[in-house]
Structure formats: structure tokens, C-alpha cells
Amino acid sequence: MRAVPESDRRLRIVTPRFGEAVVGGAESVARDLALRLAADGWQVEVWTTCAVDAVTWSNREPAGTSADGPVTVHRFPTRIRRPPRLFHQLSRVLFRLPPALRPETLWVILQGPYAPGLVWGLAHAPAAPTLFLPYLYHPSLRGAHRTRGPRLLMPAAHEERPLGLRSVARLVDAVDGFLYATPEERALLESTHPAAAQRAWRIGNVGIDPPPDTDPDRARERLGVSGPYLLHAGRAATGKGLDELLDAVTLLRRNHPEVHLVLAGDAGAPPPAGAAADPGVVRAGRLERGLLWDAIAGATAVVVPSYLESQSLLAVEAWAVGRPALLNAASPALAGQAQRSGGAIVYRGAAELVAAASALLDDPDRAAALGAAGRRFVETRYRWGAVLDGVRGLVEDAGRRAARRAG
């Protein structure tokens, strides 16, 4: 493959949220990718909003241009604060209507983050390869059509009703290439929108570099956990399976009262005022990156209960430090990761999750063997060198298609 000339090593990344404090799989991948490309000599700009949380899109960061290490970051204010309950009700009504009657324009604006200045800026910016992610939000759904130059999309797609919207079909039509997380994600998008099969693509959007050493004892001391624990880290959005996980832990503790569940990230936020505490659950909130690695390394297993995933970074990180994962088989991407890695037990429902967790608690050798298999998988499949090579090739292929489109 011909290398992308140094003068052409430019990439504009458009994402709803960006920064070290942002919790979210796709957004975390975007930041890691931006920093890696910049370290490899690319000129990387990130176009994003001033929002940090994905619930209301409230402006938290200052608008304007700043730097995240070698990456230039342009932030634009959101103009509408999303009302979660009203938006949920609108979504229920919208998806009950025939496609031709759906108020998609209104839905896309309220889905947000609605930052018209970002879209206007893209329309007037010089032509450059631009990577949009994920597919679901206003900057991608409206910005891709206005951007000059090769248009790439990292979909972060999974089985959900918005994937079939006509707005998404138009986005797919506008894109010149796709950067997928897993083969299952590619198969899903191409089956939903066949036009995607006619575009350039690569699979693999993130590499994993675990720290050279971890300290599980430090994590136990900071978290206040002395016995075995399961770990879940991530968001607490609908479809993430948190309620099922909590039910499973209640059942698990009947026979294993010594086990705890550590919840980190947004999923570990304190419960609403007046809500009863969950016995055996440690709500750790957002953990500093080094402490999170320590917590992963000390866990009996990490648990990914989500039904809606394009891939699980938490599982990959667990495998990188030799720990197994318990993955929800209802997600095709998670089931595929488990099969390819040999580092996980899949389950369906709370009862199967209890049985899987019990098996690892009762047989530490099995947990170690699964973790070792996962580590070998990560060492061969999640290398940054391969990811960067894939991005270079995708930019090149998409550039040729964009030239034909422009001509």
C-alpha cells in the first residue's frame, strides 16, 4: 500500500463530545485515535461541542480553540438543552409512525447536540479528510453533507431503531469510507443500508497499551473492597443492562456474600435521593485512569451487560491485563468478541450471569485461563500500528472516491 504523503497527513475529527473527562466508548476511541495520529506526524483537528454529558448537552467547556496535547480542538456551543423526558416521549411517538410521517428533522435537532455553528463551520472550512463519529448525532447527520473532501464515518452502530432512519440512510450515501469496530458492526450496517457495502472500509479503530504494571491492592484500598469483586465501567443509558446486572448481583450474593460489584464511570454515580442502597454495590464514580487499570487488574471479571454495543473497550482492557470478561450474548458484537478472543463467558439474563460469575469465583484457574487467552488475543488484534495503517489506507481509498464524486 502506498503511504499517505506527509503533506497529506491531515484528519479532521467531528464528534459530539471530546476530552479526557468524557465517558463514552466512541468518544474515548476518538481521543485515543486523535492523539496517536498526531504522535505519528498527522495534523489532527477535532471539531466538537462545549458539552460534556450526553443527556442534556449542556455547555460546560468554553467555546473556541484549545489544544489537547498536539491536537487542535475547536469547540462550538450547543443551542438547545435537550429535555430527557420530553425527548424520550417524542422518540416513542416517532418510531410508532410510518417512516413517511416521522418528524425526523425535529428528532435530529432534539437528539442533538444541536450546534449549528459547528455545521456552518464545516461548510466553510477547507477541504480535508473528515472522520465523523458516531452516526447517531446531529454533527454527523447534518455535518457530513456540508463537508468538503473525503468523508469517513466511524458508526459505532448496533441494533437500535434510529439506525433505520432515512436521515441515517442519507448519511451513509454521503460517506466515502467506514471505520468499523468489529465485523458484526459492518454486517449490521450493510444489511440495514446496502449502500454501505459499496464504500471503502476498514475494521479496527483502537489499539490497547496497558500500563507496564498495575496495583490491584491500591485499587482495593481506594475502593474499600477486601474480597472478590466484579467490575463494570461505563454509561448508565437505556439499553446498557444496568438493572439486570444489579438484579444478578443480588442473586449472586445469596451464595457468595463476600463478592461485591464495583460500578465506575457514569454507571457508578450515586443513586437518586431517597433510593435504597444496593447491598454489595460500590458506586465508585469516575476513576482516574491509572486507578481504573488497577481496578480492572484486580477484578475477578469485568461485566458488560449492555444489549447495545458495537464493541466493548472494557473487555479488551481486561484481556490486556489478563482478566476475563462476562459479556451479554444479546449483543452480536459482544458475542463475536467473546468467540474470537476465547477470553469471556457469554450469558443471557440474570440467572445465566449469576451462573457464569459463580463459575469464575469457584474456579480461579478457569478465570486465569480465560484472561490469558484474552491477553494473547489483544496482543495480536489490538495493535496501534495496525490501526494507523488502516486509517492511512482508508483515507487514501476514500480520497479517490471523493475525487470521483467531486468530478
Task: Map out the domains of the chain with their CATH numbers.
Answer: 6-207+383-406 (3.40.50.2000), 216-381 (3.40.50.2000)
The reported pLDDT for the residue numbered 370 is 98
| CA of residue 269 relative to chain centroid, distance | 19
The reported pLDDT for the residue numbered 26 is 85
| CA of residue 77 relative to chain centroid, distance | 23
The reported pLDDT for the residue numbered 284 is 87
Q: Which three cell numbers stand for residue 206?
A: 483502537
Q: Which three cell numbers stand for residue 338?
A: 467473546
List the beta strands (DSSP E) in 64-176. Answer: 64-68, 71-76, 130-132, 151-153
| CA of residue 273 relative to chain centroid, distance | 29
pLDDT < 50 regions, the chain:
1-4, 7
Calculate the CA dihedral of residues 44, 71, 108, 180 and round it to 10 degrees: 60
Number of H helices, E strands in the chain: 15, 14
β 151-153/130-132 pair status: parallel
The reported pLDDT for the residue numbered 2 is 44
The reported pLDDT for the residue numbered 1 is 40
Q: Which three cell numbers stand for residue 252?
A: 449472586
147-150 long-range contacts (CB < 8 A, ≥24 apart) are 147/12, 147/14, 147/122, 147/123, 149/402, 150/176, 150/177, 150/395, 150/398, 150/399, 150/401, 150/402
Q: Which three cell numbers stand for residue 303?
A: 461485566
The reported pLDDT for the residue numbered 238 is 61
Q: pTM of the predicted model, to two decimals?
A: 0.85
Q: Which three cell numbers stand for residue 250?
A: 443480588
The reported pLDDT for the residue numbered 378 is 94
**CA-CA distance, 313 to 374, in Å (whole number)?**
13
The reported pLDDT for the residue numbered 239 is 60
Q: Are 297 and 323 in contact (CB under 8 A)?
A: yes
The closest alpha carbon to 54, from 27, 75, 30, belongs to 27
Sheet with 71-76, strands from edge to edge, namely 64-68, 71-76, 43-49, 10-14, 130-132, 151-153, 177-180, 200-203
